[in-house]
Amino acid sequence: MNPYIQEMLVRDEGLRLTAYKCTAGKTTIGVGRNLDDVGISAEEADMLLQNDLVHIEAQAQTFPWYAGLDQVRQAVILSMLFNLGLRGFQGFTNTLKFIETGKYAQAATNMLASKWAKQVGQRANRLAEMMRSGVMVRR
C-alpha cells in the first residue's frame, strides 16, 4: 500500500461519518465512498452489523431484567432495539413492564397492538411469537 495515499485522500476528500451528497450528486460516506455506484462489500456490511450489535447489546444491558432473559427473548429485545433505536424501544412502556415481570404472553400481545407492528408486519408477528414462547422462529 502506498504510504501517502490514505493521508492524502482523508485531507482531500474529508471524513464524513454520515451519508451526504457529494458535488456530483452521489450518496457518499466516510472518505469519499460512493454508495450509489460502489456500495459496500458483504464483509463491510458484516463489520457494520457487528459494530451495531455491540452497541445495541450495551443498550440492552442497561435494563436490569435483560440478563435474566433466555437467549431467544434477548434476541427479540436486540432486534427491536436495532429496528427502533433506544428511544423508540423505551416507548414500549407496558410491554417492557410485562417483560420485566415475566408476563411474556401479555408482552407479545402488546407488541402486536403497536404502530410498530403494523409498520414491520411479519417481523412483529415472528418476534411476538418468540417473546410468547421463548422458541426461535426462523420463518
* Catalytic position from the list 7, 22, 57, 129: 22
Catalytic-residue membership of 13:
yes
Contacts of residue 73, defined as CB under 8 A and 6 or more positions apart, other chains included, come to: 99, 104, 130, 131, 134
Strand partners for 34: 28
Catalytic-residue membership of 44:
no
What separation, in Å, do the N-terminal and C-terminal C-alpha atoms of the chain show? Answer: 45
CB 132 within 8 A of CB 108: yes
* Active centre residues (catalytic): 13, 22
